[in-house]
Structure 1
Amino acid sequence: MKAIFNNVVIAQSEHPVVIEGNYYFPLESVNSDYLSETSHHSTCPWKGEASYYTVKVNDEISENAAWSYKNPKDAAKEIKNHVAFWKNVSVKE
């Protein structure tokens, strides 16, 4: 699977974790040069608190278009050190 933004592959993995239709890419498969952490957070009752990132490739920006659970609850421990994408980031094979 690949995560693509502004025609650039920003993450690629053969083994993403799929939860609720979202592909979570292992941290080492994500090019962190394109991400910057924001102050936005959300809480999922069974996964825990999500931290968000703005995705920027060249001059194209998508605010809070990536998220991760840095310390997920036990029910979602498989997504620790993983990042998921949305908001104009295409995820496909």
Structure 2
Amino acid sequence: SLRREFTTFSNHRSSCAWKGQAQWLSLFVNGEMLPDAVWFYPEPSEAAAAVKDRVAFVRGVQVVE
């Protein structure tokens, strides 16, 4: 799960011919903002339905529990 208190809106969008349109979020980590560090597909194509409700992080973001 993604803790929303560490994210903020981003205008950035990207698209994938297979998955559809991705929306992005920025992260706040240790007092610093990492712009466009998280992306997700809110309405993926049927072929990529498995990615719905999942997020991905750009290289360099370390996820810890």
CA RMSD, aligned part only?
A: 1.5
Question: How far apart are 1:90 and its partner, in Å?
Answer: 2.0
After TM superposition, the runs of 4+ consecutive aligned structure 1 residues lying more than 4 A away are none
Which AA in structure 1 matches 2:36?
N
- Tell me which amino acid in the other structure corresponds to 1:76: A
Within 5 A, what are the aligned runs for 1:50-65? 50-65=22-37
Q: CA deviation at 1:57?
A: 2.1
AA of the residue aligned to 1:58: N
User: How many residues are treated as equivalent by the alignment?
Assistant: 64
TM-score between the two structures when normalised by the length of structure 1:
0.63
Identity across matched positions, percent: 36
Gapped regions of structure 2 (runs ≥ 5): none
Which is strand-richer, 1 or 2?
Answer: 1
For 1:42, the aligned partner's letter is S
Cα distance in 2 between the residues matched to 1:62 and 1:76 = 27
